[in-house]
Structure 1
Amino acid sequence: MSFDSAEKQLHSVRKDFVDRVSKSVVDDLLDGLLQQKVINNHEMETVKVIPERAEKAREVIDMVLRKGAVSCLIMKTLLVELDPFLCTTLVLKWSFSQTLQNRHLKLTIQETQVVLLGFYRQ
């Protein structure tokens, strides 16, 4: 999974994300993005006061897309944790190259850095 791939995937599902994500998931996503230091307090407060769910969702995904590939990967990881069903609906799945077909990648996010813990065979 490359960082660029996460960015492309988020961009490709932007409209469906805005249409389908729940208000509670958007709020939890904001908390996670703040905790991972993808956004700052000012950005979070600016989005939290937006009353309409779809507009709030649009602002969150656009903000993350502007921040680049690593931020997109963090958002995607948070979305998988917060709403796996939505991610399945959006087809936000970890995609690996053919050579990694039978391996898993463990990801841990620590202070906005994605640390690759390693690959292991099933």
Structure 2
Amino acid sequence: MRHLAASIAVLIFAGVALADEPVKLIVNGGTIKSDPAPIIRDGHVYVPLRVAGEAVGAEVTYDAELKIVKLCARPPNYTLGNLGGACMIIDQSEGLTVKGRLFLGVRKLAESLGSKVKWDNQAKTVTITSAAPAL
């Protein structure tokens, strides 16, 4: 009976350790440090919007009154991926707010910006590769 209880305890704490495993973010070959770090929620990876947006070359601004985030290409004559324009608007309700930071699903963010995204489940690493900016 003692062995059964010990085995159950090991399984419970192993699950907690796995849940707390950090997610690594790599953008265009460079590791991006972020506080808070990217998270996994319901099987999806979410990244802090400002950190990821700036890492792919966008200017990120937040309008608290409208509760929207605006990502704009730098320099302004570039376009952001397949959006066909210089800016994109993200409503706060489209993401998760954690510790006062807006997180967005990494695939949605990357593909909206015309970037490629790859997830390595074993290494808990998400890699974003930006497309060359369009003129």
**TM-score strictly above 0.5:** no
Highest Rg: 1 or 2?
Answer: 2
TM-score (norm 1): 0.28
TM-score (norm 2): 0.26
Q: Which structure shows the higher helix fraction?
A: 1
Q: Which structure shows the higher strand fraction?
A: 2
User: Per chain length, whose mean CA-contact separation is higher, i.e. which structure has more relative contact order (CA < 8 Å, sep 6+)?
Assistant: 1
